[in-house]
């Protein structure tokens, strides 16, 4: 009986890890019509339809992730790359989520909110 319990607990642990897998996201960054090229600091957050933040990449709104941008294009794993993990229930409990992306413009020393926020949908 104990081995059945261990198998069941292992299955639950494995299934929660599968559901909490990082989510790939690709984006484009251009400034004044020119594609950015190089490393850039970003923040990522998932919010609900009311604007409440349900997940963010780091401990607070200003915790950054350095992302390599090639000719304006970048790919990131939300919940990966040293970010906070995604909750296994985040997408199950929230039918309408939006990704908020901010970029730190080193030239102007200001944060730019890349708009509009992107609605998360399944594919």
Report the pLDDT value the prediction gives residue 3, as an integer from 0 to 100: 45
Q: What distance in Å separates the CA atoms of residue 61 and residue 63, rounded to the nearest whole number?
A: 6
The pLDDT of residue 6: 38
Q: What is the pLDDT of residue 20?
A: 65
The ranges of the chain with pLDDT < 50 are 1-16, 19
User: Is the separation of the CB atoms in 98 and 28 below 8 Å?
Assistant: no
Question: What pLDDT is recorded for position 8?
Answer: 39
**CA dist list (Å): 28 to 43, 74, 81, 92, 93:** 14, 6, 18, 28, 29
Global confidence as pTM? 0.81
pLDDT value of position 64? 96
């Amino acid at each position: 009986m104990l081995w059945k319990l261990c198998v069941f607990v292992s299955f639950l642990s494995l299934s929660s890890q599968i559901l909490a897998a990082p989510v790939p996201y690709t984006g484009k960054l251009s400034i004044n019509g020119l594609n950015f090229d190089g490393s850039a600091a970003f923040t990522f957050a998932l919010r609900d339809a009311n604007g409440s933040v349900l997940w963010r990449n780091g401990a607070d709104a200003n915790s950054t992730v350095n992302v390599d941008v090639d000719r304006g294009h970048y790919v990131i794993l939300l919940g990966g790359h040293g970010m906070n993990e995604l909750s296994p229930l985040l997408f199950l409990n929230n039918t309408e989520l939006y990704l908020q992306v901010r970029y730190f413009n080193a030239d102007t020393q200001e944060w730019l909110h890349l708009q509009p926020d992107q609605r998360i949908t399944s594919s």
